[in-house]
Structure 1
Amino acid sequence: MSLLDITDPTPPDIEPTADRVRTVLVVEDEPFIAMDIDEVLKAAGMAVEVRSSRNDALRWLESNSPATAVLDFSFRDGDGLAIAVVLQERGIPVIFCSGGEPSDLPDNFNVTAWIRKPFRDCDLLDAVRFAIEMREFHLQMEERA
């Protein structure tokens, strides 16, 4: 399977170790969009944790660590940057899925992908698969160092 092969619904070829579950954190305050993202990712064999607010996601992150995260940019209780900063500090790839523009991000902020709403399922899957493979690769390199 190539890195961005959208015709194969199986997860990436890299096998997670027992202590690394491929959970994707989804933070989206629009219920129908959250449900759509959840269904697309679960159909591709991924574990998904959906949170509907910035504060709820930050609480979840206090005791959990996803493989990657798909974040909206704006929430009723603030923007998604606070979540993204926590994730980035842990080396977890961040994917924004938003109606906004990437120019909304600070210049020095590194984001794995920016998916504009409305999105195609294949674009979401491509970004998430890439992020998970990238995270697994970095973890494997750290273990070898």
Structure 2
Amino acid sequence: MNHDDLRYGNLKHMQTAWSEATPGVVHASWSGHRTACGKSVVEAKPVYESHPRDITCAECGATAVFDLNTAREHARAVTEKYEASGAIRHDFASSFREEAIEAIAPKAFEMRRNGESWNKIATDFLLIAASGEDGTSRFVGKVGQAVIDALEESEFPEGY
């Protein structure tokens, strides 16, 4: 997913694009060569004809409409407490944060596009991924909720 600060918040330079690898799916691109999800671009609309509402790839859509770096910061704030206590290692925390974003952001994009509320997104996540009462479920729930809160905070305000 997006590791490039030039993407989110720079939608005026975003192009909708297509890839041979995914016929019928509309992606986002900032270069015209690769999609946000890493596929080769075979065709891209000009920037002035492109809008986030046209994106159908959930990963590209999440990259376009959310600030994933904010999500990383929120998740890091949670995992750093566990690292400091010695409960988890830094390498695990880093990969877990990224996996959480990769799992949650595309699904949040799809759900928001379908008119779902942030409360529904958070509830569904907690019921599916963090439904237990054990320490692992609480950890997963805290990191996931931090990611969801950051996505809500950074969501593209003009609709999609």
TM-score normalized by the length of structure 2: 0.26
Q: Which has the higher strand share?
A: 1
For the pair shown, the structure with the greater C-alpha radius of gyration is: 2
Q: Which has the higher helix share?
A: 2
TM-score normalized by the length of structure 1: 0.28
